[in-house]
Chain A
């Protein structure tokens, strides 16, 4: 009983924000000296919840912005009309970088790296990062005193990109540490596939690929605008080549290291399986048009292939759980959707045939044959109604009125099925999380790995702190009920409120059982030797949301 009380206390004291990694309120003493206080808030990488990560992130964005600005400065048609904006952006960037440099210089004596040196600020100034920071702003001030060739100045400004090393080097160090004692292939795997060994470096890799996907897709879209393509054609060609080089390297890395994934063992079979994987196939489609166009453009016109470069956008779905849920739902509901599609097709052919029958004599040029009438039937049944083909005979109009009304219902079935299946899937996944929480909280202790599971699941299901709190409350109640000496059924039955709660608990347990058990094996075992009657089995199916 004492243990139970301790557990309850633990559960009540749970800080969900902290478990979900959202305890962003840094605990920094207000009475610290100004310099120390400022360092703690802005630059200390060891204080969770301060602004250090945010600062690094926004500085990184500004560096990337500078890179693009520099690129477009080489395009007179873009640069000349917006010269003032480019100059203002440069001034703004230099101002931010200067403030950052000054801040780091001022706060250097608080930095672990420099505080033990004889002269901390001199130590900072001569450190590689500080030299890079200095090089990023120095040319701007230098040109005020010394006339510098514009090309040299632009090259020096390009050095700003080196500032990204401030983010990259710590990530690389973390990656090395995480992958100590692992093979080269495992390291490649850790970089390209999500795993416990990837750390920040894997996140940076994903962001890098994501940025290139967005850039290349934007380029494909803008290429179709003739006026823009006229000005930036050369830049688009370069960008496409760089994007293809990056995506090809990524594809090769995935194919090489996929054998480290569970279920992909085997040098040939594992890779073949990976190549057949939809997301890898998309990766392949993303680079294929480039090679085909280069090799075959002399034989046939392959301009249409350029549109397939838009398939690169699908690469972004790799990191999206929503896509995985959609695929799961569609696969699960396929038989029902197939039936709905069959009814739709049936109605479509009937409508088209009747339309042809009633309207051919009146409008032989529009209802020329049944295939032509199918177009009209689809437009009518889907409630689009372009109006380019419409019935004119009384019978045709009467039939169209009925079919248009039917179409609303028939075409809505697949949408309703999908919506309902999505909702079911969400409930199932939450039940799964609840089951996990139940198991995790049972011992009254949350280890770091368990907290990581909760974090990952909450992120995957897009749960807020409040929602996780609510789930935990439910789990606590169930724990309490489990820990209490169970009341006999007749005692529970005496109190309707208690009976309802007991019923809910039992239902919840059956659902949890459904989530955790292998469904196919359960069904087989239940039906073997008629362990469950038809009614019992139907009830089980209903509770699991399958009936």
Chain B
């Protein structure tokens, strides 16, 4: 066992010395600095949480709409299922994701969403990239296409782009890019 030295024979100043006071001040400074950095980290984490909430709101809306969009009296005609667009359809043509997205961003509460990292509306990206800092808080929406039986992977994920047809029951995956630029999966759902 290590033992403390007993300095009883030495001359000692039993109150707090200047060095002690400096140490206490340094300790307070260190605690304040760590607290400050902790608060910075917390604020950044809150931004990630807000981005996740944005993603969750999209998932909730798309999941809910997905249950009724194949019905005749669907509330959101731009997102209606079963409407097959032409093979060379452009973004905005009925039956494409572009038309549905435009409708969502014009008429639903999702249009008011804010990307907390840049204070602008979140945008859809092809992939999250840790090297690209402009992607923080962006949304990644992927179409999960099932692969033939016996394949090594059960499905192939590709970004849902505006010209993609949405006439069929789709399996989607929504992720958001965190502050490090990594994808955080929010949910996989049917649309």
Contacts and interface: CB of A to CB of B under 8 A. Distances in A.
Interface of A: 181-186, 189-190, 193-197, 226, 230, 233-234, 237-238, 240-242, 244-245, 248-249, 252-253, 256, 260-262, 290-291, 294, 297-298, 301, 303, 456
B52 interface: yes
> Top 9 A-B pairs ranked by shortest CB distance?
A241-B38, A195-B4, A237-B45, A245-B34, A184-B20, A294-B37, A301-B130, A184-B16, A256-B23
B12 interface: yes
Given A181-B8, A183-B14, A241-B42, 20 more contacts: A183-B17, A184-B17, A185-B20, A185-B23, A190-B4, A194-B2, A195-B4, A226-B184, A226-B185, A233-B45, A237-B41, A238-B38, A240-B41, A241-B41, A256-B23, A260-B4, A261-B4, A261-B5, A294-B37, A456-B1
B189 interface: no
13 contacts: A181-B14, A182-B12, A186-B7, A190-B4, A196-B4, A230-B184, A233-B45, A241-B34, A241-B38, A242-B38, A252-B30, A260-B5, A303-B182
Contacts of A252: 23, 26-27, 30
B24 to A, nearest CB: 9
A182 B14 contact: yes
Contacts of A183: 7, 12-14, 17, 20
A267 to B, nearest CB: 8
Contacts of A197: 4
Q: Chain A's interface: helix, strand, loop or mixed, by majority? A: helix
A189 B182 CA distance: 44
A303 B49 contact: no
Contacts of A237: 38, 41-42, 45
B30 A248 contact: yes
B12 to A, nearest CB: 6
B82 interface: no
B180 interface: yes
B154 to A, nearest CB: 18
A186 B4 contact: yes
Contacts, number: 101
Nearest to A244: B34
Interface residues on B, range: 35 or more
Nearest to B49: A234
Interface of B: 1-5, 7-8, 12-17, 19-20, 23, 26-27, 30-31, 34-35, 37-38, 40-42, 45-46, 48-49, 52, 130-131, 133, 179-182, 184-185
A297 to B, nearest CB: 7
A249 B27 contact: yes
Given A230-B52, A233-B48, A237-B41, A195 B2 contact: yes
A301 B180 contact: yes
A230 B53 CA distance: 11
A196 B3 contact: yes
Contacts of B26: 252
Given A189-B4, A244-B34, A262-B3, A234 B180 contact: no
Contacts of A194: 1-2
B37 A261 contact: no
Contacts of A242: 38
Nearest to B27: A252
B3 A245 contact: no
A301 B12 CA distance: 50
A301 B182 CA distance: 10
B9 to A, nearest CB: 13
A303 B131 CA distance: 13
A261 B31 CA distance: 25
Nearest to A195: B4
A322 to B, nearest CB: 16
A233 to B, nearest CB: 6
A185 B14 CA distance: 10
